[in-house]
Structure 1
């Protein structure tokens, strides 16, 4: 507001405040509707059953063993897109299985660069595989 403009009256300011409060109420009502809609969607999503997750752990483990058999781990680059780390990244249930079944970590073929810069990464990877393979 410049010095040339008239000062708003108290009544016009109160009116503007009422309008803003009404708009806030409308937005809050809309937000409440969206939150209720979201809760309903979450409830329905929680009820979704993924058939693969209903398999017994023993069967899932056997499938995982076939998946990781002969996996090639490339040091200094991306791996072949297979292996226990990939399985562990899918969901919580698969992560629990992948991280707690030593047989998944016992079979690995290490290939790639042997440069000095990759030695620490290689060491960490091998330690991870060895500790998990029991």
Structure 2
């Protein structure tokens, strides 16, 4: 804004009168370069908004393509499942070696039958796969030792406790049946403090 325009604007600010035609022309003329620059900036802002929208659209399309590729990858990997199973090194291990692995695993920690949310090691072995289930259920050695931990409940839980104890008794019977004719080693631990048994079931019952 030039000196004349600044002077005119300053005079008008100190009065309440409307600007004359000459004053209006001076002020508008001084604003012309700024208005031109403003239009350029607004045009650039508009272009930037259009560009951002285009980028968002490209990102959305890229996300769609990525999801499609991941689904395609998952489908391809799924077709290899049987192939990987066939070539698994596990299949090349003799059954007697697998049985020794199972025995060693169970002997590493005393299997415990209780009402807590824990699965005894022989049951863990039987849940790995069909082949391991067969080996676990037909290897008497891993069922010949058991630690039974019994928790007592308060009077208001007596009905619940009875059902849980029946489950434990049935599991213990099945456990020792799988030991076949082997000598049995069992340890019983009774804990008197109250414990809450969720839903009245052992976690693996």
Q: Work out whether the TM-score is over 0.5.
A: yes
The unaligned stretches of length 5 or more in structure 2 are 1-74, 154-160, 181-205
Give RMSD over aligned pairs.
2.5
- Is the 8 Å Cα contact of residues 67 and 82 (structure 1) preserved in structure 2? no
Paired residue secondary structure (1:109): strand
1:104-131 per-residue CA deviation (whole Å, 9 max, x = no partner) reads 1111111131554232022111111111
- The aligned length equals 97
Flag structure 1 segments of 5+ consecutive residues without an equivalent. Answer: 1-37
Instruction: Judge conservation of contact 2:126–2:134 (CA < 8 Å) in 1.
Output: yes
* Structure 1 segments of 4+ aligned residues over 6 angstroms from their partners: none
Give the number of the structure with larger relative contact order, counting CA–CA contacts within 8 Å between residues 6 or more apart. 1
Using a 3 Å threshold, how does the CA distance of structure 1 residues 114 and 61 change in structure 2: closer, same or farther?
Answer: farther
Aligned residue among 99, 113, 117 for 1:78: 117
Matches within 5 A, 1:109-120: 109-114=147-152, 116-117=161-162, 118-120=164-166
Rg (Cα) greater in structure: 2
Please tell me whether the aligned partners of residues 75 and 121 of structure 1 are also in contact (alpha carbons under 8 angstroms): no
Other-structure match for 1:127: 173
Q: Where does residue 8 of structure 1 map in the other structure? A: none
